[in-house]
Structure 1
């Protein structure tokens, strides 16, 4: 089934370039040119993913993301003309799934979008079996439902955060390097920086801390990350 993408950018030319690449890849595209219009289109078009420019007048992309995250865990890919680390970290910590700096390769952007959509593709819940659930201590993960909880508390995770947590939980005693996490959480033809992985890890930790889990992911200095004891 064709996926629907909402492209939000105040530069019509950039929007057209992105739209052309997405349509060529078999996706349906809707456009918005400012933050308010983005929120309206989000409500009325029910997109599968949003490509969201950060630097827009009046309501910027970060504020749009904050509003969307109040009601939805829809995947968001940020676009920015700036490669400032603070923008990248803030965007990811607000709940963005990826961050692409302008100028960018339309082919790479489509690859990143496909990678995220692949991770968010849910199985038919009717086919879910008990073995589908993964439980370690108080941590419970349900891959078919794209759902995780700690005790009785559900955790809202983005697609990338969920993919990282599931990877660590599938081999709870293994230490994963950042490179390994990149390869598993993203398609092999998509490059992300170490700082991007660190930001996702930090965001996962904060979400679990907020519901009383003091440690969900351990840092093994000089090596990478592993799942904590989950007691």
Structure 2
């Protein structure tokens, strides 16, 4: 069985702090890794995908602000800043480079645990929303649910073959982008070196016909770009037949 526990990286040059945080967080069933300086912390954070990084501000080699700044250029890993400095300027610096939360030493370990849980809950909710949005395309006259492969046109279900569905989803996933027939054969049909270009035209024709049975507007969202190929419009093209 896969281990679905959350992994947390503690970056702090004080061993006492790392040991204290490890003890409390491991009690909550988190997997803990440690780094004793900013460079080591940055290297680990870039190499692994941590669910949360507890990052001290004052660190040897690279300070926490620089670590967060460089990390944000590559990843969106949640960051909680830990520091002995409580001045507003330091808090603003932390948030400006992408910190998600900020706590001042000396802190209560129980408060850390509660804040960690809150950040992880929030980021998990955001991830679930992103996944849901990625799987669902909702437009004024058309809805495509990629989890169930259901297509709804103006409130009525459209029955498509698997390849017709693949073609529609591929086009609708990149609205307003023009796709040549060769590209569609390569990406949808996986034909690398051969394939009849009329295959694309035939499937587009059938797709429009099936959409037209349920909606007047939906089939006109697949637009022919003469001499180039096809594109999908978020709204029906005014002159597409």
What corresponds to 1:98 in structure 2? 101
Which of 83, 91, 95 is 2:86 aligned to? 83
Instruction: State the TM-score, normalizing by the size of structure 2.
Output: 0.52
The RMSD of aligned alpha carbons is 2.1
Count of residue pairs brought into register by the alignment = 133
Instruction: Spell out, residue by residue over 1:112-144, the C-alpha distance to the aligned partner (whole angstroms, 9 max, x if none).
Output: 11111111112283685457x9xxxxxxxxxxx
1:117 matched to 2:144? The reply is no
In 2, the alpha carbon distance for the partners of 1:70 and 1:45 equals: 15
In 2, the alpha carbon distance for the partners of 1:45 and 1:93 equals: 23
CA contact (8 A) 2:46 2:75 kept: no
Quote how far apart the aligned CAs of 1:93 are. Answer: 1.2
Instruction: State the TM-score, normalizing by the size of structure 1.
Output: 0.54
**Which structure ranks higher in relative contact order (CA pairs < 8 Å, sequence separation ≥ 6)?**
1
Secondary structure of the 2:21 match is: helix
Unaligned runs of 5+ in 2: 140-175, 177-241
In 2, the alpha carbon distance for the partners of 1:126 and 1:16 equals: 38
In 2, the alpha carbon distance for the partners of 1:126 and 1:7 equals: 31
In 2, the alpha carbon distance for the partners of 1:77 and 1:93 equals: 13
Secondary structure of the 2:33 match is: strand
Secondary structure of the 2:32 match is: strand
Unaligned runs of 5+ in 1: 134-151, 153-231
What corresponds to 1:26 in structure 2? 29
